[in-house]
Amino acid sequence: MAGVAATEPGRTALVWRDRRVSYGDLDRRANELAHALAARGVAPDSLVATVLGNRPEWVELALATARLGARLVPASWRSTTDELDYLVRDSGAALLVNEPGARADDVGPTLHVGDEYERALAEQPDTAVPGATAPDLVAIRVYTSGTTGRPKAIVRGQSAGTWTHGARPNSSLLDFWGLTGEDEVNLTCLPLHHGAGHGYPLQALACGQTVVLMERFDAENLLALIEAEQVTYMNMVPTQFVRIAALEPEVRDRYDVSSMKRVLHGSAPCPIAAKQAMFDLFGPIVWETYGGMEGLATIGSPEDWLAHPGTVGRAASALGIGVVILDDDGNEVPPGVPGLVYIRPPGGQRFEYAGETESTASAWRDDLFTVGDVGYLDEEGLLFLVDRQKDVVITGGVNVYPAEVERVLATHPSVADVAVIGVPDPEWGESVLAVVVASAPVSADELVDYCRERLTSHKCPRAVEFTDELQRDPLGKVLKRELRDRYWQAAERRI
């Protein structure tokens, strides 16, 4: 990034709202912010927390911490005060850079974006920070998403939980996709605070590309930006697919999206109909990745998915990654048999969850780790996910995978959204409950009968409840922990 700023300072680095930020201006502001952070006590190996939305200041902060040899701890701008307090204290962050209006004024030293932030930059020189050896190598302290409990910091060897982005040698995925040229244009429509959101734009800037930042996702606006900025690639989540597919055909057809070379997605299960709609719109350029914050597992090509709808792809062997399916005793199971998905990381790289000895031990089996997903490999080595291990419902001693029931209910014409969970049952231990957002009038009995026609009886919901909306995180995952808590709070047990 700094190299482009020196040789082509007028090249556009960021597009945000009606602003176009050049590489030269981005570089100068990152230098000013680095000096301002140092004046506030940020030193090499310090951590700086941030609760910023998708805006240029997030990128400035990422680059400024890199120039100090510090590390960034991103948090969602939707975070509650309690969640931010946990993240700041758990990470030991020296400073919080705060989104205007965010609930985070009592968690320690804070720099507010706005007048205070601009004054802080104006007081500092725009020259490089002395001793900055890797000015573009952004280090991120990585946390799990926290959908099943408190977020856990991921520690890799001596790296204190960092991932690095920005140096060209680390652009392995952009190399894989063939997207390292300066003429590529990245559209960032995911939250920058998440690993799925910040990895690609930081790599894009390292390659001298233009990054178009969407402040908030809007399906039609995304199509308009692709046409206006001649976007060539973007990383998305299935919820965004669903919203684009829901646009009226004349709206989708209004925009020229022929500049697109790659649509990448991951982070949550993808409905088959929604992904097919993306193929219909963009052509055979939709690729999928599967894994977790702990590491990548598979890459799904358009060809594999079109031939085998529902697969999340093959082990990313070109990147040195392997995938195996094991039973509860650690034995590898035959093709087609579900088990826990285990990932063999490249070069034997290991991680641990900071301060979580038990969680770390349960994640690893010899040189393999799992993020808790159940799935199977077919005869061709394609991976199909069945469900999350922690989401499995055990009713009368029999396992029911909610994702299987959800896939069936999602095909009913009156079901707009659905989540299936296990709830306390005095006879069966747990029973299957479907929580449904209806798009048209439908009865619980009709939905249960619909399942009975397509599933064995023990998998069918014993009850259906209707709601106006299912709570999801920014990447589209239903917050099942919160949903389950409503039903288990009065029980004398949690399983």
Two tokens at 236?
């998305």
What mean pLDDT comes out for the span 30-40? 96
pLDDT per residue over 311-361, tens digit each?
999 999 988 999 999 998 999 999 999 999 999 998 888 888 887 888 889
Predicted pLDDT of residue 170: 45
Say how far apart CA 317 and CA 197 lie, in whole Å: 24
By C-alpha distance, which of 480, 460, 487, 327 is closest to 390? 480
What integer pLDDT is reported at residue 145 of this predicted model? 64
Token pair in block for residue 359: 């969680």
- 419 pLDDT band, cuts 50/70/90, is very high
| Percent of the chain with pLDDT strictly greater than 90 | 56
- The reported pLDDT for the residue numbered 389 is 77
Helices (H), 159-285: 172-177, 195-206, 219-229, 238-245, 249-252, 272-282
Higher pLDDT, 242 or 202: 202
- Between 50 and 154, residue with greater pLDDT: 50
When pLDDT is averaged across residues 8-12 and rounded to a whole number, the result is: 96
pLDDT number for residue 172: 64
Sign for the pseudo-dihedral over CA of 260, 243, 384, 413? negative
Residue 351: predicted pLDDT: 86
**Sign, CA torsion 186/190/195/196:** negative
Q: Among residues of the chain, what percentage have pLDDT more than 70?
A: 92
Mean pLDDT computed over 391-412: 85
The model's confidence at residue 284, banded by pLDDT at 50, 70 and 90, is: very high
Contact assessment for residue 285 and residue 323, using Cβ atoms and an 8 Å cutoff: no
Q: Check residue 392 and give its pLDDT.
A: 82
pLDDT band at 490 (very low <50, low <70, confident <90, very high): low
Asked whether 75 and 51 are in contact (CB, 8 A), the reply is yes
Q: How many CB atoms lie within 10 A of CB 278?
A: 21
Same fold, 2-317 and 394-488: no
* CATH T-level assignment (fold) for domain 394-488: GMP Synthetase; Chain A, domain 3 (3.30.300)
Torsion of CA 351, 353, 355, 359, to 10 degrees: -120
pLDDT band of 164, cuts 50, 70, 90:
low
Q: Which fold has domain 2-317?
A: Rossmann fold (3.40.50)
Task: Give the SS3 label for residue 411.
Answer: coil
Coil, strand or helix: which one is 135? coil
**Average pLDDT, integer, range 49-53:** 92
Enter the tokens of residue 49: 């927390």
Closest C-alpha to 400, from 473, 326, 451, 470:
451
- Report how far residue 71's alpha carbon sits from residue 42's, in angstroms, rounded to the nearest whole number: 10
Residue type, 215: E
What does pLDDT average to over the chain?
88
> Where are the domains positioned within the chain?
2-317, 394-488
Angle at 374 between CA 369 and CA 380, to 5 degrees: 90
> Quick count: other Cβ atoms within 10 Å of Cβ 135?
24
The end-to-end CA distance of the chain, in Å, is 51
> Rounded to 5, what percent of the chain is helix, strand, coil?
35, 25, 40
Q: What pLDDT was estimated at residue 99?
A: 81
pLDDT at 158 over 50: no
* Residue 200 identity: Y
Structure tokens at 299: 């890459």
Among the listed residues 366, 364, 365, 384, the one whose alpha carbon sits nearest the alpha carbon of residue 374: 384
Strand, coil or helix: what is 29?
helix
**Residue 72: is its pLDDT beyond 50?**
yes
Nearest-angstrom CA–CA distance, 351 and 142: 11
The more confidently predicted of residues 343 and 168 is: 343
From CA 444, how far away is CA 429, in angstroms rounded?
A: 22
The tokens of 344 are what? 């063999």
Residue 91 or 234, more confident: 234
pLDDT of residue 165: 62
* C-alpha separations of 199 from 165, 343, 393, 447 in Å: 6, 21, 34, 41
DSSP-derived letter for residue 107 is S
Interatomic CA distance for residues 132 and 68, integer angstroms: 6
Question: 453 and 467 in contact (C-beta within 8 Å)?
Answer: no
Backbone phi and psi for residue 208, each to the nearest 5 degrees, phi listed first: 80, 20
**pLDDT class for 143, splitting at 50, 70, 90?**
confident
The position carrying tokens 């941030």 is 50
Q: State pLDDT tens for residues 225-265.
A: 999 999 999 999 888 888 899 899 999 999 999 999 999 99
466, 443 Cβ separation under 8 angstroms: no
Helices (H), 8-135: 23-39, 56-68, 81-91, 115-122
In terms of DSSP H, where are the helices of 69-124?
81-91, 115-122
In this structure, of 135-139, 171-175, 288-292, the range with the lowest mean pLDDT score is 171-175
The pLDDT, as a whole number, for residue 169 is 44
Dmax over CA atoms of the chain, in Å, equals 72
Centre a 10 Å sphere on the Cβ of residue 326 and count the other Cβ atoms it contains: 16
In this prediction, residue 160 has a pLDDT band, given cuts at 50, 70 and 90, of very low
The edge-to-edge listing of strands for the beta sheet with 295-300 is 19-22, 12-16, 210-213, 185-188, 233-236, 262-265, 286-292, 295-300, 314-315
Tell me what pLDDT residue 348 has: 81
